[in-house]
């Protein structure tokens, strides 16, 4: 029976335990998206987890939708990430890079005046995160075929840079309403070419990018992040079971290392169904999990690993606290994102402090 501290093999990744640090955007990189020494300290503090998935990391400047999020498309960014990966490895941890293109979840003011891109011209409801004064999302323009191919190549180049930076693998961010998700889900994909219409076509970009990442890393060091509820950034799909089930069926054929879902537990959750369709790709559960949820998911075999986000912000030694059933630090919302302060970032106490 698997427990929190049971080791786990995900493809070619050998985890010392089954507690995973979820990707967490904190906007602590420099203006030109270079990771800093403070970021290295932050990740090293959390290296007792079985696996760290890095904060979302843009594959190009055109892929961004937030200030001060890190990138993996320049030599300086690679050098910055090396500080992070070396610090994590010195503490005995594993870390994979989450690769990201936001698509329509951006604004011309973040793109040197250029219009955000997407699968189709479907405007997102709401206001751009963290921008002041508030601005509504704009109508995106659909990518043409040549641009899609160029973005696949950008993902591949980012994966190459992730290897140069010392990561242990990569995870494709295919969730939360960002570009890959915009192609996958029917609400945002109204295309009539080979990238739209049928589920096979809507999943094409996801699978082409995964294949490019596998070329660089091998399938055993590639993971995929998905959000089947479509509950972020105005998403939705006509048949999530079929869409995400098909995606996992195809990912299973590629024998990727793991899939990770941001899906809270409920009667209508489909992550277990996705795992069944995959033929057994290891599954990392995430979203609003309590310690009891985590223990049950592992002991029952419903999930292979469990992941925590906000709890890892406030508890650098979350793994130890979960194993000991120790109390958790309270999350302080101030300074959580969008500031350069060390406060609320690297100053949360551990049990030993």
Q: Is 246 helix (H, G, I), strand (E, B) or coil?
A: helix
Q: What is the DSSP string of 94-128?
A: -EEEEEE--TTSS-GGGTTTPPPEESSS-PPPSB-
Which helix (H) or strand (E) covers residue 299, if one does? helix 291-300
| Sign, Cα dihedral of 202, 266, 13, 163 | positive
Q: Identify the DSSP state of 330.
A: P
Burial of residue 276 (CB within 10 Å: 0-12, 13-18, 19+) is middle
How many CB atoms lie under 10 A from the CB of residue 126? 12
Structure-token match 């800093």, residue found: 36
Q: Which of 137, 178, 246, 348 is catalytic?
A: 178
Residues 249, 207: contact at Cβ < 8 Å?
Answer: no
Q: How far apart are CA 171 and CA 159, in angstroms?
A: 9
Q: ∠ at Cα 9 (6, 12), nearest 5°?
A: 155
Task: Please confirm, yes or no, whether 348 is among the known catalytic residues.
Answer: no
266 CB-side CA count, 13 A = 9
Rounded to whole angstroms, the Cα distance separating 38 from 21 reads 18
CA distances from 160 to 51, 98, 154, 170, 338 (A): 20, 13, 10, 10, 28
DSSP string, 59-97: SSGGG--STT--BSSSHHHHHHHHHHHHHHHHTT--EEE
| Cα-to-chain-centroid distance, residue 79 | 21
DSSP 3-state of 8: strand
Question: Among all residues, which ones are annotated catalytic?
Answer: 178
């Amino acid at each position: 029976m698997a427990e929190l501290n049971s080791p786990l093999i995900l493809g070619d990744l050998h985890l010392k335990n089954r507690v995973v640090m979820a990707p967490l955007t904190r906007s602590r990189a420099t203006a030109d998206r270079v990771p800093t020494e403070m970021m290295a300290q932050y990740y090293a503090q959390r290296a007792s987890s079985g696996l760290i998935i890095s904060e979302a990391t843009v594959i190009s400047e055109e892929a961004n939708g937030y200030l001060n999020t890190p990138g993996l498309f320049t030599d300086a960014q690679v050098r910055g990430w090396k500080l992070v990966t070396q610090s994590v490895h010195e503490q005995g941890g594993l870390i994979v890079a989450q690769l990201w293109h936001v698509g329509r979840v951006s604004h011309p003011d973040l793109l040197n005046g250029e219009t955000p891109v997407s699968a189709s011209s479907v405007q997102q409801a709401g206001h751009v995160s963290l921008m002041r004064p508030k601005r509504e999302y704009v109508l995106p323009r659909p990518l043409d075929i040549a641009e899609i191919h160029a973005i696949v190549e950008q993902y591949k180049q980012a994966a190459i840079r992730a290897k140069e930076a010392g990561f242990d693998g990569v995870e494709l961010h295919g969730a939360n309403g960002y570009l890959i998700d915009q192609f996958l889900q029917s609400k945002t994909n109204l295309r009539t070419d080979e990238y739209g219409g049928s589920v096979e076509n809507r999943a094409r970009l996801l699978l082409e990018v995964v294949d490019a990442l596998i070329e660089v890393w091998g399938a055993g060091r590639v993971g995929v992040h998905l959000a089947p509820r479509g509950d972020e950034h105005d998403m939705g799909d006509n048949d999530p079971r079929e869409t995400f089930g098909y995606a996992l069926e195809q990912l299973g054929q590629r024998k990727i290392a793991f899939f990770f879902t941001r899906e809270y537990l409920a009667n209508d959750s489909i992550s277990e169904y996705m795992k069944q369709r995959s033929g057994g790709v290891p599954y990392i559960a995430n979203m609003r999990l309590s310690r009891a949820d985590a223990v049950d998911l592992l002991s029952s075999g419903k999930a292979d690993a469990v992941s925590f986000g906000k709890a890892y912000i406030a508890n650098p030694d979350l793994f130890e606290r979960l194993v000991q059933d120790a109390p958790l630090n309270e999350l302080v919302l101030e300074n959580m994102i969008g500031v350069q302060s060390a406060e609320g970032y690297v100053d949360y106490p551990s049990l030993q402090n």
